[in-house]
């Protein structure tokens, strides 16, 4: 099979497309012929050596994708050759064939394309647990979403609206502001503005019920924008490390700081299937929209990495074998 591999850590130029041995399918696995593969910043970090990689080179990035079952392991039941499946957390996905553990294989409805699934799962499941588990959005909640035009941000905006919340979003440019408004944000402010005052203005001086904080360096600003008794959900630090939080502040203001990580939630096949199928259902009902992806052939994976790192992309980047 062909795969996108690298022998050493570095820039996009270390990636190359070559023939390697096909994976051997274990008794608890299925072999999947990949149709679409999601590219994520985690792949960039692995390529650079920021994340630990098991085994020896050549290394293969990729954890998210969708395809067709070509072979069934001896102990796998309830699946058949020809089934359409997707996954969010299976390594070595940047290849024509991937061995997928049966517990991580998510059945893909005929109405959901391979491209949609590969664009949705990792970011969609993140937005799902943030709005269901880290803080359960209720009808009438007012919610502040950082980086609201990003991949997770746009899905957060839409899911919060589905669950009955009002969305106040933050982003960096007018173009991104319009993108977030287009998917349903009620109010959008730019980081270059006095956005904390704007948040107070639209909430009548009370602050929001919950903030989804993914910037990191804005953590204390998020607390200032949260009402007494409100919650800040910390799930990223794209803008730099957060400062330390004094628990006495939490006590004095009755505010809550909580965190979240997808891998603490996707702990079983049932969790993966139930959460994914709620996302698929919202798409089929027209409530949730996934922006049009930018597509590269898997053979041009180096160009895709370069494009992702340029931060010019607004939607998902897919690799197609």
pLDDT in tens, 53-63: 778 889 999 99
Q: 260 pLDDT band (50/70/90 cuts)?
A: confident
Task: Decide: residue 243, CB within 10 A, 0-12 exposed, 13-18 middle, 19+ buried.
Answer: exposed
Q: What is the pLDDT of residue 121?
A: 97
**222: pLDDT strictly greater than 90:** yes
> What domain count does the chain have?
2
| 166 and 278 belong to one structural domain | no
Last residue of a domain, one of 239, 259, 279: 259
What percent of the chain shows pLDDT beyond 90? 89
Last residue of a domain, one of 259, 283, 301: 259
SS3 235: coil
Assigned domain for 214 exists: yes
| 67 and 92 belong to one structural domain | yes
Domain span holding position 58: 2-120+266-320
Q: How crowded is residue 252: how many other Cβ atoms within 10 Å of its Cβ?
A: 10
Assigned domain for 134 exists: no
| 205 and 302 belong to one structural domain | no
> What token pair was written down for 81?
């050759």
Last residue of a domain, one of 227, 243, 259: 259
Q: What is the pLDDT of residue 41?
A: 87
pLDDT in tens, 263-272: 999 999 999 9
Q: What is the pLDDT of residue 240?
A: 86
| 115 and 182 belong to one structural domain | no
Determine contact, residues 135/268, Cβ cutoff 8 Å: no
| CA nearest neighbour of 188 among 209, 208, 202 | 202
Assigned domain for 128 exists: no
Q: What is the pLDDT of residue 226?
A: 98
Q: 238 pLDDT band (50/70/90 cuts)?
A: confident
Q: What is the pLDDT of residue 303?
A: 96
Assigned domain for 143 exists: yes
pLDDT in tens, 81-117: 999 999 999 999 999 999 999 999 999 999 999 999 9
Q: What is the pLDDT of residue 315?
A: 75
Structure-derived torsion over alpha carbons of residues 116, 117, 121, 122, reported in degrees to the nearest 10: -80
| 20 and 66 belong to one structural domain | yes
| 56 and 163 belong to one structural domain | no
Angle at 219 between CA 147 and CA 157, to 5 degrees: 30
- Phi/psi-derived region of residue 35, left when phi > 0, alpha when psi is between -120 and 50, beta in every other case: alpha
In Å, what is the CA distance from 107 to each residue of 87, 266, 278, 303? Answer: 9, 15, 12, 31
Q: 289 pLDDT band (50/70/90 cuts)?
A: very high
The pTM score is 0.94
**50: pLDDT strictly greater than 90:** no
Q: What is the pLDDT of residue 55?
A: 80
Give CA–CA dist 277/307, Å, rounded: 30
Please, what is the average pLDDT of the chain? 95
What percent of the chain shows pLDDT beyond 70? 99
Report which secondary-structure segment, H or E, holds 195.
helix 195-202
Q: What is the pLDDT of residue 305?
A: 95
Give CA–CA dist 190/216, Å, rounded: 17
Assigned domain for 306 exists: yes
Q: What is the DSSP letter of 191?
A: T
Q: What is the pLDDT of residue 68?
A: 98
Q: Which long-range contacts (CB under 8 A, 24 or more apart) does 7-11 make?
A: 7/57, 7/58, 7/59, 8/57, 9/47, 9/48, 9/49, 10/47, 10/48, 11/48
pLDDT in tens, 12-33: 999 999 999 999 999 999 999 9
Q: What is the mean pLDDT of residues 250-271?
A: 95
């Amino acid at each position: 099979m062909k795969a996108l591999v690298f022998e050493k850590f570095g820039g996009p130029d270390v990636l190359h497309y070559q023939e390697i041995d096909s994976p051997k399918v274990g008794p608890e696995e299925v072999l999947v012929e990949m149709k679409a593969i999601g590219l994520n910043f985690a792949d960039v970090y692995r390529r650079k050596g920021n994340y630990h990689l098991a085994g020896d080179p050549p290394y293969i990035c990729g954890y998210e994708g969708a395809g067709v079952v070509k072979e069934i392991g001896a102990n796998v039941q309830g699946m058949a050759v020809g089934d359409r499946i997707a996954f969010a957390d299976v390594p070595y996905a940047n290849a024509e064939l991937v061995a997928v553990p049966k517990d991580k294989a998510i059945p893909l409805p005929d109405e959901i394309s391979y491209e949609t699934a590969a664009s949705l799962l990792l970011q969609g499941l993140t937005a799902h647990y943030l709005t269901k588990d880290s803080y359960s959005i209720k009808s009438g909640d007012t919610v502040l979403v950082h980086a609201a035009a990003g991949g997770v941000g746009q899905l957060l905006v839409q899911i919060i609206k589905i669950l009955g919340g009002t969305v106040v979003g933050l982003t960096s440019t007018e173009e991104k502001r319009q993108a977030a408004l287009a998917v349903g944000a009620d109010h959008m402010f730019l980081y270059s503005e006095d956005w904390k005052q704007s948040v107070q203005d639209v909430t009548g001086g009370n602050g929001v019920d919950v903030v989804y904080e993914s910037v990191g360096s804005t953590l204390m600003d998020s607390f200032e924008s949260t009402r007494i008794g409100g919650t800040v959900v910390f799930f990223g630090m794209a803008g730099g490390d957060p400062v330390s939080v004094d628990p006495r502040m939490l006590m004095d203001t009755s505010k809550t700081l909580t965190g979240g990580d997808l891998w603490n939630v996707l702990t079983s096949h049932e969790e993966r299937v139930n959460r994914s199928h709620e996302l698929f259902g919202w798409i089929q009902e027209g409530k949730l929209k996934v922006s049009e992806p930018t597509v590269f052939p898997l053979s041009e994976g180096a160009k895709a990495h370069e494009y992702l790192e340029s931060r010019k992309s607004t939607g998902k980047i897919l690799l197609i074998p």
